[in-house]
Amino acid sequence: MHYLDIFVIPVETARRADYIAHEAKWWPAFQKRGALSFVVGWGDDVPPGKRTDLLRAVDLHPGETVVAAWMTWPDKATRDAAYAAMESAMSPEDMAQMPFDGKRMIYGGFVPVLVEGPAT
């Protein structure tokens, strides 16, 4: 079964095109290292919750939008090797140019336990 990386990111709404370009720039490097698919969703209906929500999870500021993304890998070992390679390939300048506040990004790796329909 595949392995999933899930990300929830606050992005300045005015920098939507910059964010999309950033992800499009890096996708080939992940794909080259084994990633199978990548989906990015721009928040459209992300309501505030009563106890917690995605807005609070990323400490959303005015003028920002919540972005959810997931990357599919063939397995965890491929994902781990890819991230190790990517960390050594990325420069401090690359990190500084990210069009979002990485300190407020939440993320994690997941083992799928139920997949219905296309596994993208």
- Give how many domains the chain has, as a whole number: 1
Residue 118 within a domain:
no
Residue 73 near residue 62, CB atoms below 8 Å: no
Under-70 pLDDT residues of the chain = 119-120
Residue 102 belongs to a domain with what CATH number? Answer: 3.30.70.100
Is residue 117 one of the residues assigned to a domain? no
Does 104 map to a domain?
Answer: yes
Looking at the domain assignment, is residue 86 inside a domain? Answer: yes
* pTM > 0.85: yes or no: yes
Neighbours of 77 (CB within 10 A): 11
Distances (CA, A) of 105 to 1, 2, 29, 45: 26, 23, 21, 19
Q: Is 10 exposed, middle or buried (0-12, 13-18, 19+ CB in 10 A)?
A: buried
Question: What would you report as the CA-atom Rg of the chain, rounded to the nearest whole angstrom?
Answer: 15
Q: What three-state secondary structure class fits 60?
A: coil
Confirm whether 99 is domain-assigned.
yes
Q: Which domain holds residue 17?
A: 3-46+53-110
| 120 domain-assigned | no
In a domain, 42, yes or no: yes
Question: What are 71-97's pLDDT values in tens digits?
Answer: 999 999 999 999 999 888 777 777 777
pLDDT for 119? 61
